[in-house]
Chain A
Amino acid sequence: MRAARRVLALVRKDLVLEWRGRDVLVPAGAFGLAVLLVLGLVSGGGPQDAPTLLWVSVLLASVLAAGRSAEREGEEGTLEVLLLYPGSREDLFWGRHLALCVLLGALALGLWAAQLFLFNAPARGWPAVLLAGTLATVGLSASGTLLAALLGHVRAGRLLLPLLFLPTSVPVLLAGVRLTEAAAAGTTLGPWWGVLVVFDLLFLLVGPVLFEVAVEG
């Protein structure tokens, strides 16, 4: 009960900070949109490229969002205060992860809508794309929260985050692209759903434990 109260308080805090500052969604959304446009121009923006464009832009925007979300905490010296409150530090992971989930979900939805509008991509099989997006958001948020914490004590950690985050997220990228293509074609690809679920489970299980170690001074 106490853990739930702590987690909810942390989620509310992060979302209120974002609502007032807009310092995660606006830069990450603008960056994702720029990636979408540039890749669309390079590739010709045909409907067959739409899934790849969407998922690459979501992934790159997620790197920025995860880094910025973690960075915000260090700027006012509030991270140390959070770490010194009573209770398990795993709650901090869950709070930060859930808030980032909401932000990444909004980001992915926005980029999806932009992709549909800009490239006249078909919205066929949207429930499957939505489910894949939800699973991907959970995994990217958990891995982003953990990796940003691991690099928190490292000099130039902000620059290193993409180096770790992008290779780690390759399974999400591949699964997202394949599932979106399959949804548009009206087929199903069972194994790729498994990839997303395993990725999520892995980071949701090891994330809280490693997070605690990562934030130790």
Chain B
Amino acid sequence: MPVARHAERVRASPVWGTRAASGPPSPVVTEGLGRRFGPVVALHDVTLRVQQGQCLLLVGPNGSGKTTLLRVLATALRPTEGRAWVWGYEVTAEGWRVREVCAYLGTAPGVYGALSGFENLRLAADLCGKPVGRVPELLARVGLMPAAHRLVASYSLGMRRRLALARAFLQEPLVALLDEPFVGLDEEGRELVRQLVEEVKSRAGAVVLATHDGDRARGLYDRVVCLEAGSLRAAGG
């Protein structure tokens, strides 16, 4: 059980400790976080906290830095300024720990077209150290069982995104970072995203969901923050 495995961290981490003293612990913390791509400032001085059991909705126009923030938290990018912690682990120094508790669902499904749905998910199970026996159950859950042994190259975009969702379910994350998770999904697929968010929240984890279409996430989030040109502009409950 991931919560139990990382319980020691809750007690040991100075980040968790300070949060615990002044309120509920925060699985996601950033302090003055920034990221540059050469001369372009993609993210600047972002300070935020996401509490346990919360879903934070990140909104903002295209190019506002939502994806960059999620990728920094997921350890796909190194921050160029400031610091960030996920589940008490510092994203730069303890990236491998962050990856143990965190699932990142990017805009690209990131699945192999020349492998079947089953093979893609079995690979994910092997890489996450999860039992391969869970693969059929998860494929059935996301509605891909009839196409499980077809090459993913023949899947539609929605089916590929469902496969990526199955991978996120398999990881049983404590922190989920979802980048435009509703794109390409039908109503049934969007319901799977909602289930993922609820599952993570029910584990006392946290979700950061980035979208430019807040209507789709209605009823899912607890707080909203708005990014504009890489900086936080507004926040609301």
Contact = CB atoms under 8 A, between A and B. Distances in A.
Interface of A: 2, 5-6, 8-10, 13, 16-17, 20-21, 76-78, 80-89, 216-217
Contacts of A80: 76, 106, 108, 110
Interface centre among B74, B128, B129 (most CB of A within 10 A): B129
Nearest to A80: B76
A212 B171 CA distance: 22
Contact of A77 (B102, B110, B123, B129): B110
17 contacts: A2-B129, A9-B122, A13-B119, A16-B119, A17-B112, A20-B151, A76-B111, A77-B108, A77-B110, A80-B76, A81-B110, A84-B74, A84-B99, A84-B102, A86-B100, A86-B127, A87-B127
B121 to A, nearest CB: 12
Interface residues of B, number: 31
Contacts of B17: none
Contact of A84 (B76, B78, B151): B76
A85 B167 CA distance: 10
Nearest to B101: A86
Contact of A17 (B75, B115, B128, B171): B115
A155 B122 CA distance: 33
Nearest to B152: A76
Interface of B: 71, 74-78, 96, 99-100, 102, 104, 106, 108-115, 119, 122-124, 126-129, 151, 167, 171
Contacts of B110: 76-78, 80-81
Contacts of B71: 217
Nearest to A3: B129
A90 to B, nearest CB: 10
A184 B74 CA distance: 55
A78 B102 CA distance: 17
A16 B115 contact: yes
Contact of A86 (B114, B123, B128, B151): B128
Contact of B99 (A16, A21, A87): A87
A201 to B, nearest CB: 26
Contacts of A20: 114, 151
A83 B126 contact: no
A85 B78 CA distance: 16
